[in-house]
Structure 1
Amino acid sequence: MNVVLWIVAGLLALAFLGSGLMKVSQTPAKLATMGMGWAVDFSPAAVKTIGGLELLAAIGLILPALLDIAPVFVPLAALGLVLVMIGAMVVHGRRNEKQALPINVLFLVLAAVVVWGRFGPYAF
């Protein structure tokens, strides 16, 4: 199960590294043209904050365990992603963007598995 948790954390880290980099490097208008219509409802600072949180979570999913420095940050980063995905689901639900909800649920479940595994039976 440890290997599965590493794989899940790695996949989440890759996904949120890419997503976070897009959000911190593009304007909300540009993100909207890329299919992220929700971005125009938020200030540029809020979009960049969300992107920054995703980048921090991506780093927090891998580096603490890899370097064996405060590995408790791995499940905390995953917990942060659970909260980000709940927020994303609320935003997409209010905007009636039902096509985005399944991917939000998938990422939420994957992050929750990392939280459960790393806080529970497969802690570092």
Structure 2
Amino acid sequence: MKKLQQCVVCQIYNRIFAVSLSYERQAQNYEKGLINYFIYMGKLSTPNNQEMNDRKFDFIDQWLPARYTSSVNMILKEDKKDPAYIRQVKNTRTDDMKIIDALYIVAQLNKLQVED
């Protein structure tokens, strides 16, 4: 009878231990899944965004007028930046989307004026 009780106790312990291990494994798998998901999304989104920024900068380089900082500040209105910073964003291709978008708009306006 004692052996039977030991086996029952062992079985209960093993089940509890197995359940706790399975929860631990599930947590580890979940963490691995999240890490893999973010790595996957990073690989997907980064090249696409970089390609779009490269296209914008190519357009900006081609069509931006010689004097553009005041026009960019007019577009930015309340969020005006120093002209040196605007030139820095353009020349070093810094990732400041507000400035890049404003530069792109100024380049588009200049293209429309030149082509008409």
Same fold (TM over 0.5): no
TM-score range with shorter-chain normalisation? 0.3 to 0.5
Which protein shows a greater Rg?
A: 2
- What TM-score, normalized by structure 1, do the two folds share? 0.30
Higher helix share goes to which structure?
A: 2
